[in-house]
Amino acid sequence: MFTSSAAVTDGTKAIRGGIPVCFPQFSDLGPCAASHGFARTSTWDVTSTTSTTATFTLRSGGDRDARDEAFPHAHVVEYVVCVDGETLTTTMRVTNEDVDAFEFTTALHTYFRVGDCERARVEGLKSTSYLDSLDGRREKTDDADAVEFHEEVDRIYLDTPAVLKIRDASMPESGYGGTFTIEKSATLTDAVVWNPWVEKSKKMGDFRDDEYREMVCVEVAGTRKMSLAPGATWEGSQTISFAV
Ligand code: TA6
CB 106 within 8 A of CB 221: yes
The answer to whether residue 65 scores a pLDDT higher than 60 is: no
Q: Is residue 6 part of a domain?
A: no
Q: Is residue 208 part of a domain?
A: yes
Q: Is residue 7 part of a domain?
A: no
Q: 28-37, 55-64, 160-169: lowest mean pLDDT where?
A: 55-64
Q: Report cis status (omega within 30 of 0) of the bond before 31.
A: no
Centre of ligand 1 from the C-alpha of residue 231, in Å: 31
Which comes out higher in pLDDT, residue 67 or 217? 217
CB 172: neighbour CB atoms within 10 A? 10
Q: Is residue 228 part of a domain?
A: yes
Could you identify the atom of ligand 1 that is nearest to the CA of residue 196?
Answer: 7
Domain, as residue range, for 120? 21-243
CB 244 within 8 A of CB 222: no
Q: Is residue 15 part of a domain?
A: no
pLDDT of residue 174: 72
CB of residue 154 inside a 6 A radius of ligand 1: yes
The answer to whether residue 71 scores a pLDDT higher than 80 is: yes
CB 115 within 8 A of CB 171: yes
The answer to whether residue 19 scores a pLDDT higher than 70 is: yes
pLDDT band of 69, cuts 50, 70, 90: confident
Q: Is residue 238 part of a domain?
A: yes
First to last CA, the chain: 15
The model's pTM: 0.97
Domain of 175, CATH number, reads 2.70.98.10
Q: How many domains does the chain have?
A: 1
CB of residue 14 inside a 6 A radius of ligand 1: yes
The answer to whether residue 64 scores a pLDDT higher than 70 is: no
CB of residue 42 inside a 6 A radius of ligand 1: no
177 Cα distance to chain centroid: 22
Mean predicted lDDT score pLDDT of the chain: 95
Q: Is residue 14 part of a domain?
A: no
Q: Which of 36, 73, 75, 109 is catalytic?
A: 109
- Give the DSSP letter of residue 18: S
Q: Is residue 78 part of a domain?
A: yes
CB of residue 237 inside a 6 A radius of ligand 1: no
> pLDDT tens-digit profile of 132-147?
999 999 999 999 999 9
> Which residues on adjacent β-strands are paired with residue 46?
56
Centre of ligand 1 from the C-alpha of residue 116, in Å: 20
Q: How far apart are CA 187 and CA 110, in angstroms?
A: 17
**Is 219 marked active-site?**
yes
Centre of ligand 1 from the C-alpha of residue 35, in Å: 8
pLDDT of residue 63: 63
> pLDDT tens-digit profile of 76-120?
999 999 999 889 999 999 999 999 999 999 999 999 999 999 999
Centre of ligand 1 from the C-alpha of residue 26, in Å: 9
Q: Quick one: residue 52, left, alpha or beta (phi over 0 = left, psi -120 to 50 = alpha)?
A: alpha
